[in-house]
Structures are given as C-alpha cells and as structure tokens.
Chain A
Amino acid sequence: MIKPLDLRRFTGFRALTILCLVVLYAPLIIVAIYSFNDSTSITRWGGFSLKWYVDVFTGPDAPKFRNAAINSFTIAIGAATCATIIATAAAVAMNRAGRFRGKVASLALINLPLMVPEIVTAVASLIFFITIGFKTGLMTIFIAHLVFCIPFAYLPISARMQSVPDVYEQAAMDLYATPWEAFRLILLPLMIPGILSGFLLAFIISLDDFLITNFVKGAGIETLPTAIFGSVKQGIKPNIMAISTLLLGVSVVFVTLSWFIGRAGQSKN
C-alpha cells in the first residue's frame, strides 16, 4: 500500500462539500448578522445594535410573540414527553416482547406519520377535528404534534434498545428481579442516552412544525412558526430576524446537547 488515501480522494469533492456548507449556512449567518443591524432599512448596514432584540421583548409585537413562544414551548415539551413515553413502550414491545399478533402492522403504524406527506396529515387532521366537533385550539395542536413526534422519538430509542443486549435483563431476572424491576433497574438506566435523544428530536420537530399547526390551530392561537409566518407575509422585518436568530441559537444548543449525550452514551459501552 503505497498511498492508500488516494483511493478515497476524488477531485472536486472537497469543493462541493464546501459549497454544500456555504449553501446551508450562508442564509442563516447573514440573517444572524443583519439581526444586529442598527439601520431601519433592512438591507443597508447601519452599524451594530441590539435594538431589534430589545424590540422583540418590549416592542409592540412583544406580547404576540411571547404568547406564541409560550404556546410553542408548552406544546413541544408536552408532546415530546408523551411521545417519548409512548415510543419507549413501543420500543420494548418491538424489541423485547417476542412475537405477537399485529407486530408488523404496529411497526408500519409507528412509521406512518413519516410516510404521509405533511400537507395530507394537516388536511386530514383538520377534517377530523371539524367532523367530530373537537374545538380547534391548543389541545388539537398538542394531539397532532404528539402523533408525528412518536416516530421521531421511536427511532433513537429503538436503536439504543437494540444495542443493549437483553442478557442484562436476563441476568436481573435470574437474580430474582420481576420483569418490571428488570425494566426499571436495568433496561431504563441503560437506555437513558437513547431516551434523551429521542426526547430532544421530538422536541425540536414539534417546535419546528408550521404546516400541520397552521391547519389545526384555532383562530387567535399562534405558535412561533405560525406567528413568524403571518408576520413574514407582510414583509420581512428586522425583529423577525432577531427572533430567527434566537431560535437558531436554541436549535444549536439542542443539537450540541444531543451530540454530547450521544457521545457519552457511546463511550460508556
């Protein structure tokens, strides 16, 4: 082997990778920079200022965005928590309960929200809630989010459960632990990294959703994405850029968090 690295190198791949990252980051970075613009004209640079951030928290739109943020985070925490619990139970059923009737169908059902296009889910949910006379509002948003959060929570949880050999639980039961004790004392602690990444993924996905929320939210109820969308429809204002930058920050914090949790989980085994 004279130069084994040569087999992995293709001319131009590095350049395309850089291009890929530029495309992914340029809009975000530019919006982040312009959110600190002192000028009222959004395209002319007028010096560094935090005034749009002040505007987000104290300006005329502040109550609207504060309510939207509270709604968004409440729903995201609630939906992600419930989805994580449901997904953990489902992962135990799929990976630890042997065969049972409807197992294959169950897996298809878990993945169904990923397969049905978002716009179709949105339409179907709206029709359903209207038909059964369910008043659209926070509750309908929560239910819709819970449904599409389940597969996102399930993926990392199930992957983690597959990587934990069941011999630990067998050993526990051999040492007089009941199945519930084997789950609580052995499987659950070993599953923590998977459960946390499942929760974080579901949380971000819920926070991210616009289309389904826009269909099932009641009149006057907004989440951050629907509020931002409504505002953008009347033109991009600098305060939107400040909010976007803040949300960008939240996402970066979460992805970093989940990254470190994932690494900690790997190094433990």
Chain B
Amino acid sequence: MNQNSIAVDVENVVKRYDSVTALHGVSMDIREGEFFTLLGPSGCGKTTLLRCIAGFEDVTEGAIRLRGEDIAPLPPHRRPVNTVFQQYALFPHMTVLENVSFGLRRRGWIEMDAEARAREVLELVQLKDFAQRRPGQLSGGQQQRVALARALAPNPEVLLLDEPLSALDLKLRQAVRVELKQIQRETGIAFVFVTHDQEEALTMSDRIAVMSEGYVQQIGTPRDIYEAPLNRFVADFIGETNLLDVEVAAVSEGMAEVFLPGGLALRCPAAASAVAGRGHLSVRPERISIGPKSAETLPATVTDHVYLGTDIHLHARLVDGEPILVRMQNSESSGIPERGSELGLRFEAGAARLLVD
C-alpha cells in the first residue's frame, strides 16, 4: 500500500447543530497506513469529526472522501470503515466469537468462513482462548482487545478509534499503547485515533491534528507539534511551557528579534504568521538552566520549589512579575535554590519560539 496515497480526505467540513457549531470548516488528509490522531480537549469537535467519518452524523457543509469517493450519501452500514467505541459497545448477549464475526456475517460471509476469520483476528489480539466467553466475563483490557478485533475483522479501509484507552487504568493503558501501535503496523490499516491525552498522542501517532473549539490548530508529526507549535493553544496544550510576554522588534524569514523582560535581546525562531509588536515566547521548562546572575542571563527570583522525584519544579518570578517554571533534573549536584534567592536563567535561542496568539 502506498504510504503517500490518501485514505480519508476531509475537506472543509462544517457541522452545525441547532445552536452550536461543532466543526468550523475542518480539512485534513489521512494517508494510507498511517496512525493519525485527533487530539484536543473535550468539546473540541474531535469525536464529532470521527462520527462524521463513521456516518453517525451528517456533515452540514464540505465533503469527506474515502479513497477518493464521496461517502456523504452512504449510511453507516454501507461505509467500509469500522469503529472501536469508547466503552467498546460489545454486544452483551453474544459470545466473543459472535461479536467478532458479526460484521463478516452482515457482509454476507458464510458462517464457517466468518468464524475462521474471527479466530484469526482473535489470535492477533491474543484472545483465541476466549472465543466462547461473553463480554461480561472479560476484564477491561480483554474487552478492549475484543472491540479492536471486532472492528478489524472485516478488514476496513480505515479504522476509527474513539478514546479506546480511556476506560483502562494507567498501567494497562501504557502496555496497550505499544500493542495497539504494533497491530496497526502489522495490519497496515490507517488508524484514526481520538484522544484528549497528549502523551498518548505523542507516543503512538505518525501524525497528529490538534483541535480546539471546532478548528484544526495544527497538523504535524509529534516532533513538529511539540517542538514547533504554531500558536499559543498548541504550545500550551501539548506538554508544559512558559509563555513569556515579549516585545518583538522585527520578524523576518522565520526568525524574530525580541526583547525579554529585563531588556535581554534574543534572536529566535518564529511561527509563520508572527508580526512585530507584542508577542508570546514559548520556552519549555526543561530547556531552561539556572546559574548565577550575569549580563547574558534572565534575572529571576525563586518563589517555590516542588519535589517530584525524578524532577524538581522551580517556580520563579521575572523582573516584570511574570511567573516562570524551570524543570531541573534531580541529578544536579548544586542543590535546590532557596526560596527568595536570585539567580540567572538561560536557554538556547533555538529552544525558544515566538508564537501567534
């Protein structure tokens, strides 16, 4: 399967309910065989978009094309996509095997073939000994895998996953991530994965679409999204960051001249649409180091520190009163600065990034 051909083409999709607009003209291309994540806080429209692709919601405007074919007129049961539901929605009155072969039977497979295929998929998710159980007799993790097997069995063109890990506890969730990614690679099916958990998104995805309030904020690889956020929302939502209020002297060719609080000048990368004036500079807490005050450092006063085991969070205040967070590794021998002590912060120009609001 060609990695670069388009599996799902979402073009300018608008979804309006009576008074609420859930999607304001959303566009994205999901490629064949990729693990694509829709990431955003609850209410951002990610689930709505997923349900539009599955066919449970009508699109108000725009188009969704599956391998080039407009699927708007197709009801859910005629769309060659399958869904792993948030609470799995395993049919409680059927066995695991009946659940997994359900889709195949509806597509007209005879019972024997459907059963053979179902067993094959159950083996893929390591549940072949549970074929005759009922969903109620399985653990949460096992139910999740049955749901995956059921959706994979008909070999869909695209697999949709609606926060499938949110019902699992933390330990299990981390194990399942690896497994899920592995299954995706083995089957080569494009996965569209919805989550509000940025860590989940970063660890599993080939590409991520960050959404907020019905708009796509940024689409890119996990590295792009984390290291080169386009705007304030993305920087703030993905990981922790400091957003410093700065004066922007000039912007040209992706670089900006800014003045930090205290007057220190800095030349750093800028988001495409940044302009001169006031702006926000994003600096990740782990990219800041501390040292004695000097002309090349950003002066700050320590207000508090939080001991987190592997890390220590240092809360400080800049000269203009703005709070700033520094994440120190616990290995540093210098010890933890006292509350009230004054020190100098430094970071590489490449670690900072000027954002659009």
> Which A residues fall within an 8 A CB radius of B?
165, 167-168, 170-179, 181-182, 185-186, 189-190, 268-269
Nearest 5 pairs of A and B residues by beta carbon: A175-B103, A176-B106, A171-B89, A167-B89, A173-B76
User: Which residues of A sit under 8 angstroms from B92, Cβ to Cβ?
Assistant: 168, 190, 268-269
B278 part of interface (Cβ distance < 8 Å): no
Chain A residues whose C-beta falls within 8 Å of the C-beta of B87 in the assembled complex: 165, 167
Asked if B148 lies at the interface with its beta carbon under 8 angstroms from chain A, I say: no
Tell me which residues from 139 to 155 in chain B have a Cβ below 8 Å from any Cβ of chain A: 150-151, 154
Does the CB pair B85–A172 fall under 8 Å?
no
Minimum C-beta distance from B110 to chain A (A): 15
The yes or no answer to B347 lying at the interface (CB within 8 A) is: no
CB distance from B215 to the nearest CB of A (A): 26
Question: Which residues of A have CB within 8 Å of B107?
Answer: 176
- Among candidates A167, A178, A179, A268, residue contacting B85 with C-beta atoms closer than 8 Å: A167
Structural contact, A190 and B54, CB atoms closer than 8 A: no
Cβ B103 vs Cβ A170 within 8 A = no
B102 touching A175, Cβ below 8 Å: yes
B350, CB-defined interface residue at 8 Å: no
Which positions in B face A, CB cutoff 8 Å?
Answer: 54-56, 75-78, 81-83, 85, 87, 89-93, 102-103, 106-107, 136, 150-151, 154
Chain A residues lying within 8 Å of B154, measured Cβ to Cβ, are 175-176
B85 touching A171 by the CB < 8 A rule? yes
- Name B136's closest neighbour in chain A (CB-CB): A268
CB distance from A154 to the nearest CB of B (A): 23
B103 touching A176, Cβ below 8 Å: yes
Contacts A175-B82, A175-B102; A170 near B150 (Cβ below 8 A): no
- Extra inter-chain contacts (20) besides given A178-B106, A182-B77, CB under 8 Å: A167-B85, A167-B87, A168-B92, A170-B89, A171-B85, A174-B55, A174-B77, A174-B81, A174-B103, A175-B77, A175-B82, A175-B106, A176-B77, A176-B78, A176-B103, A176-B106, A176-B107, A181-B106, A268-B136, A269-B92
Chain A residue contacts of B76, Cβ below 8 A: 170, 173-174
Contact across chains for A189 and B106 when beta carbons are under 8 A apart: no
Which of chain B's residues has its CB closest to A189's CB?
B93
A182 CA / B55 CA spacing, docked (Å): 15
Contacts of B75 in A (CB 8 A): 173, 179
Decide if A168 touches B82 in the complex (CB within 8 Å).
no
Q: Can you list 18 contacts pairing A with B, beta carbon distance less than 8 Å?
A: A168-B92, A170-B76, A171-B83, A171-B89, A171-B150, A172-B106, A173-B77, A174-B55, A174-B76, A174-B77, A174-B151, A175-B82, A175-B102, A176-B106, A177-B77, A186-B91, A190-B93, A268-B136
With beta carbons under 8 angstroms apart, the residue of B56, B81, B136 that contacts A170 is B56
Q: How far is the CA of A83 from the CA of B56 in the complex (A)?
A: 32
Q: Which residues of B contact A175 (CB under 8 A)?
A: 77, 82, 102-103, 106, 150-151, 154
Inter-chain contact A177/B102, CB cutoff 8 Å: yes
Give the residue name and chain of the A residue nearest to B107 (CB). Answer: A176
Taking CB as reference atom, which chain A residue is nearest B160?
A: A174
Q: Are B56 and A172 in contact (CB under 8 A)?
A: no
Could you say which of A165, A173, A182 has the most chain B C-beta atoms within 10 Å of its C-beta? A173
C-alpha spacing A152/B106, complex, angstroms: 35
Q: How far is the CA of A164 from the CA of B292 in the complex (A)?
A: 65
Given A170-B56, A171-B83, are A178 and B89 also a contact pair (CB < 8 Å)?
no
Q: Which residues of A contact B150 (CB under 8 A)?
A: 171, 175
- In the complex, chain A residues whose CB is within 8 Å of the CB of B102: 172, 175, 177, 185
Alpha-carbon distance between A44 and B77 when the two chains are bound, in angstroms: 73
Residues from chain B with a CB closer than 8 A to the CB of A185 are 102
Please, which residues of chain A bring their CB within 8 A of the CB of B82?
174-175
CA separation between A165 and B89, bound complex, in Å? 9
| A170–B92 CA distance with the chains assembled, in angstroms | 14
Shortest Cβ gap from B150 to chain A (Å): 7
Query: In the complex, A118 Cα to B103 Cα: how many Å?
Result: 50
Residue of A nearest to B103 (CB): A175
Residue of B nearest to A176 (CB): B106
Asked if A177 and B91 make an inter-chain contact with CB atoms under 8 angstroms apart, the answer reads no
**Contact partners of A177 in chain B: CB under 8 A:** 77, 102, 106
**Within the complex, what minimum Cβ distance (angstroms) separates B212 from chain A?**
26
Question: Closest CB-CB distance, A115 to chain B, in whole Å?
Answer: 31
- Interchain CB contact under 8 A, A170 and B85: yes
Nearest chain A residue, comparing its CB with the CB of B79: A174
- Select from chain A the residue with minimum beta-carbon distance to B101: A175
| Complex CA distance for A182 and B87, rounded to whole angstroms | 18
Q: When chains A and B are docked, how far (Å) is the Cα of A252 from the Cα of B107? A: 47
Contacts A176-B103, A176-B107, A181-B106: A171 and B77 contacting too (C-beta < 8 A)?
no
List, in ascending order, chain B residues with CB within 8 A of A181's CB: 106
Residue of B nearest to A178 (CB): B77
Residues of A within 8 A of B91 (CB): 168, 171-172, 186
